[in-house]
Amino acid sequence: MNPFGRVVMCGMISQYNATTPAPGPINLGNCISRRLSIKGFIVSDHMEKQKKFFKDMGQWIEQGKIKWKETILEGIDNAPKAFLGLFKGKNLGKMIVKIGPDD
């Protein structure tokens, strides 16, 4: 991190059911010497911006300015694997279970 850097944190799904705490950073002293700020947030802190966000994001997606990755598993039989994978970080982007006509 650069001096006066800012770290924004949101979401901890991989930790929701942890039975032991995850190991913490070993270099927290750097936060002091670099004068860093760490702040958590949740979406509901910013609901007044939702309407504008949906409008802007919709336009950017239509224009191809926004791209994303998804992890797709095929078949209903893979639903439990997909769900459990969310808690282990097994997905890149959104986890999707694609269900076909035979499922």
Measured CA to CA, the distance from residue 57 to residue 31 in angstroms comes to: 34
pLDDT band at 26 (very low <50, low <70, confident <90, very high): low
pLDDT of residue 12 exceeding 80, the answer is no
pLDDT score for 48 = 97
Measured CA to CA, the distance from residue 79 to residue 86 in angstroms comes to: 11
First CA to last CA distance, the chain: 48
Lowest mean pLDDT among 40-44, 61-65, 97-101: 40-44
Which sequence spans correspond to the domains of the chain? Answer: 1-59, 68-103
